[in-house]
Structure 1
C-alpha cells in the first residue's frame, strides 16, 4: 500500500459533513406500488408535483400511488417483419400486379442492353 493513500474518507467529504454543504431542501416521501406488489418510496421536493406513475426499479412495470389498484402491465405487440406490414397494406392480387410490372420493366432493360446488378 502506498504511504500517500487517503483511507476512511470519500471525495467531497469535509470535516463538517452536512453543515458545510448547507441545508437540504424540504422533501416529502411518495410511495408507488406496482402490479407485482413491489413498493418504491421516492423523495420529491415539497413544492414539486409528484408524477402519477413511476417505473418500478425492481421489475420495470409501471407503478402508481394507488395501493389497491396498481396499473397493469402494458400490452406489448409481437414483432412484425417487413413482409407482415406489406401484407397488411396489399392484397395478393395487388402484389401479383406489382410483381408482374417489375418483372416486365426488368426484362425490357435487359433486352435494351442496360447493365443490371
Structure 2
C-alpha cells in the first residue's frame, strides 16, 4: 500500500496542479496571421511582447503575415549544389588553371619528370 505522503503523477520541475492558486498568468493578446493559402493562424502573445513579422502556418507550413490581403511570398527553395558548384563560386577559371598547373608540377617533380 502506498504511503500517505507520496506525490503521484509528479516529476521534477512540474508546475503546480492548480497554477491559479500560486500565480496569475501574464496578460495576453491575440494576434492573427494569414498565409498565402488564406489560412488564419491565431496565437496568444504576452501584452508587452513584440509580435514577430512572420509565423509558420501549422496547416501548410508556409510563412504567414499579419496583413490578410498581402501575405508573405512562398519561400524559394534553392536547388542542391554539388561541391564543385561551391568551388566554382569561390574560384575563377584563371585561379583553377593556376592551381591545376601547380598540382601537376608537384606530381611531375615527385615522379622525377622534367
Counterpart-to-counterpart distance in 1, 2:39 and 2:67: 12
Q: CA shift at 1:65, angstroms?
A: 0.8
Q: Does residue 90 of structure 1 match 2:80?
A: no
2:5 maps to: none
Alignment deviations for residues 70-102 of structure 1 (CA, whole Å, 9 cap, x no partner):
1011212212112123334322x6534432331
Q: How many residues align?
A: 103
Distance 1:94 1:48, change over 3 A: closer
Distance 1:87 1:24, change over 3 A: closer
Structure 1: which 5+ runs fail to align? 113-117
2:36 maps to: 35
1:24 maps to: 25
Q: CA shift at 1:13, angstroms?
A: 5.7
Structure 2: which 5+ runs fail to align? 3-7
1:54 maps to: 55
| Other structure's SS at 2:75 match | coil
Counterpart-to-counterpart distance in 2, 1:48 and 1:41: 15
TM-score, normalising length: structure 2? 0.70
Q: CA RMSD, aligned part only?
A: 2.6
Counterpart-to-counterpart distance in 1, 2:21 and 2:103: 76
TM-score, normalising length: structure 1? 0.69
Distance 1:10 1:39, change over 3 A: farther
Distance 1:102 1:74, change over 3 A: same
